[in-house]
Amino acid sequence: MVVAYANSEDNVEDVLLPERMTNGNVVYDEELGEGDDEEENVVVEYSNLQSLRVSLDEFIKSFPDKKANNILEDEFNGLPDGLMESYSAALKLANKRKNRYKSIYPYDHNRVVLDRTEDTEKPDYINASYIHGFGKEKAYIAAQGPFTPDTIEDFWTLIWQNDCTRIVMLTNLYEGEKMKCLRYWAEDMKEEIDIGPYHIKLDTIDEYENYTIRYFIVSNKNDEIKRITQFHFTTWLDNSVPSDLATLICFRNLVRNGLTASDGPIVVHCSAGIGRTGTFIALDFMLDEGAAENYVDVKSYVASLRQQRGKCIQTYEQYVFLHEALIEGFQTLRQNCLSIL
């Protein structure tokens, strides 16, 4: 048996990136340093938020023109930005070290609160937010990727306490030379690791060209056992979009296959838990909405998503990609329906 952790705090990057510096569609988020202090600054910018709800046919038909004539870009630039709700818990002294990036914090009203009844000395804070799904409250948890040993333990506590059965990981551990997330599972099936009160065993692993699926058996100190599946998309790099739309739609469908109403929230994380994470959650929500109602309103949904976790869908490139992926998903759904007639 190997006792966690495979990586130590020494692996955590200490190089600060330029705050909110943009280069085309790229957005860099500044990492928090030891002496950094911030005051809560809620900025609410609501502009041009009239409903753009359209039928799926109109959505698909109008996309090329909206993209070519900068209508889509104006739409994205008109979205509310910044931190729009109170986030005082994130700035408490005991919690600040659990935030990796400046100005990327969960709001107080929907942050995940860890149950510390059995360990009252530990803070109840984790940088993670409940997100509503289509027809279901708290369908997702949008989370920052673990980046220190204590945030790995917090991450598994979140999963255990919320009865989560599925993790969607949208980052690699390293991208280039930059650490994006610490490995929070056993590296191979010969290893088992202990993380706080949790024992993690990698039971099975299925590897594909663009994603990997890992099946974990997790137990606690009371010998209770839970089975958790991690869906790891490996070809979606930070501040970019996947090149293969069909593969992402297939991946999304795998995540959702067999999900029941009694399952806990789907945990979705990248590194910061806003860019790739927000794009995936928006895609999943609106594929459900479009299939059920035959209408979508991308702008209004992204605005509402940002009211649940600030800065979700960071770049215009990701916003365009969301439209393209939705079109791919709706067309795939229609083809599947026709094939069974």
What are the pLDDT digits (tens) for 92-119? 999 999 999 999 999 999 999 999 998 8
Number of Cβ within a 10 Å radius of residue 79: 20
Token readout for 105 is: 């914090």
Query: In the predicted model, what is the mean pLDDT of residues 312-329?
Result: 97
- For residue 8, being part of any structural domain is answered with no
pLDDT band at residue 287 under the 50/70/90 scheme: very high
**Element holding 213 (H helix, E strand):** strand 211-219
- For residue 193, being part of any structural domain is answered with yes
Non-local (6+) Cβ contacts of 10 within 8 A are none
pLDDT band at residue 12 under the 50/70/90 scheme: very low
- For residue 10, being part of any structural domain is answered with no
Quick check: 201 pLDDT over 50? yes
Phi, psi of 242 (to 5 degrees): -65, 150
pLDDT band at residue 252 under the 50/70/90 scheme: very high
Supply the CATH number for residue 221's domain: 3.90.190.10
- Report the SS3 class of residue 1: coil
- The pLDDT value recorded for residue 239 is 72
- For residue 195, being part of any structural domain is answered with yes
Predicted model pTM:
0.88
Q: How many domains does the chain have?
A: 1
- Give the residue with greater pLDDT, 66 vs 26: 66
- For residue 264, being part of any structural domain is answered with yes
Separation of alpha carbons 148 and 152, rounded Å? 6
The domain of 102 spans 52-339
Separation of alpha carbons 92 and 266, rounded Å? 27
Contact present, 218 and 228 (Cβ < 8 Å): yes
- The pLDDT value recorded for residue 285 is 98
- For residue 243, being part of any structural domain is answered with yes
Separation of alpha carbons 325 and 306, rounded Å? 20
- For residue 201, being part of any structural domain is answered with yes
- For residue 165, being part of any structural domain is answered with yes
Token readout for 69 is: 């004539």
- Give the residue with greater pLDDT, 60 vs 3: 60
Quick check: 335 pLDDT over 90? no
The per-residue DSSP string of 91-122 comes to GSHHHHTT--BTT----GGGEEEP--TT-TTS
